[in-house]
Amino acid sequence: MRIEDIYAAAFGREHLATLLEQLVRSFDAQSGFLACTVPDGAAFQAQFGNDPAWLDLYATRYHQHDILFPRLMQAAEGQCVTAHAMLAEPAVRASVFYRDYLAPMGVVDNLAVNLFKQPGLSAHLALIRRGAVAPFADTDRDRLQALVPHLRRAVYVGSHLSRAIDQMAALRTLVAARGDAVLMLDAQHRVIDHDPAAADLLALRHGEPVRLPALARAIDLARTVGQPVAVELADGVATPLPVLVQVLPVIRDRFADLGDTGGIACIVHLTRLDRPSTIAIGAIAAFYRLTPTEARVLDDVVTHADLIGIGSRLGMARATARTHLHRIYEKTATGGQAALIALAHRFVTISGGDALNR
């Protein structure tokens, strides 16, 4: 078992499965898994050699019957333990967990370690021997114990990388909900990260410079002048796409430049200019205590920017529409249509569309 293989597993869940395979083979086990457990269930982060349906049964049905888990959890964080002696106890043999879950799979022993124990959360590694085989020996436990410091560090690094990936996914979701897109570039203007939905439309490729000439020029100009730049993207698209390009510089940690690509040097925010914003009319109405009819009038004003046709569009007399409109002006402390629309656009929602998709 090579130490470098353990640390390689920190950089992707697919590498965790490879690590588990190596551990299983190194310790003459038949299967293994890495799991996170919370009070109401368990999630298997990676596994090797197990029937996935068997693991699913544990998570959905047998976790609550696991008579061994509380006792294994009593071990100190980072301490390797085996389950063979416990599996021989009459009370364990008579339990639903052993009789219906472990015995049918021929489980002989479980060499386990709580890599991390936190209130309400634990991460543990288990190697399982099944069938007509001997249980784990003390020498097996000691060999795994020597690897635990490296396993803990690798899982810790992997956890932080997973958190960063989740945060990036959340950012993409937020930006896409507004109908916008975000690119992240390094100092050489190479793409480090981008919205997957915009990749084809904008001809983006990870680790390469921005390909569309008009977009590349707009990014350079926006970065130079420090102001947003509007541009029409017509390269390779059937219908020109008008976008607003904003470039936000990022204070870099040069340590991040040690990767395959450099660290993030700037964030490019792209906003479509051919889509109207979605205004939270209901929120405005609730905040300023507008009546339902006043809310309808406000929605019409914001949507059409035409005061003359309000009555005909809403099925009311022009004088009635104007009365409602003036009450809206009073409640919102706006002096007219322009100020009211400006106020409404402070209530833009984040549900404008899907990235730059058409």
Topology match between the domains 3-164 and 178-272: yes
Using the predicted structure, report yes or no on whether residue 188 has a pLDDT greater than 60. Answer: yes
pLDDT in tens, 34-63: 988 876 777 888 899 999 999 999 988 998
Most confidently predicted of 72-76, 261-265, 283-287, 300-304: 283-287
CA gap 36, 213 in Å, rounded: 47
Using the predicted structure, report yes or no on whether residue 281 has a pLDDT greater than 90. Answer: yes
Using the predicted structure, report yes or no on whether residue 254 has a pLDDT greater than 50. Answer: yes
pLDDT in tens, 193-235: 887 767 777 888 888 898 888 999 999 999 999 999 999 988 7
Q: Which two tokens stand for residue 243?
A: 């976008």
Look at the domain 281-347 and name its fold. Arc Repressor Mutant, subunit A (1.10.10)
Residue of 199, 272, 201, 204 lying closest to 232 (CA atoms):
272
- The whole-number pLDDT of residue 33 equals 93
- The whole-number pLDDT of residue 175 equals 63
Enter the CATH code of domain 3-164.
3.30.450.40
SS3 333: coil
- The whole-number pLDDT of residue 358 equals 47
- The whole-number pLDDT of residue 315 equals 92
Quickly state the pLDDT bin for 236 (edges 50, 70, 90). low
- The whole-number pLDDT of residue 149 equals 95
Residue of 308, 329, 328 lying closest to 319 (CA atoms):
308
- The whole-number pLDDT of residue 152 equals 92
The CATH architecture one would assign to domain 178-272 is: 2-Layer Sandwich (3.30)
**Pairing of β 80-82 and β 266-272:** unpaired
Q: Which two tokens stand for residue 71?
A: 């006792």
CA gap 358, 354 in Å, rounded: 8
- The whole-number pLDDT of residue 36 equals 85
Domain boundaries, the chain: 3-164, 178-272, 281-347
How many helices and strands, by DSSP H and E, does the chain display? Answer: 15, 10
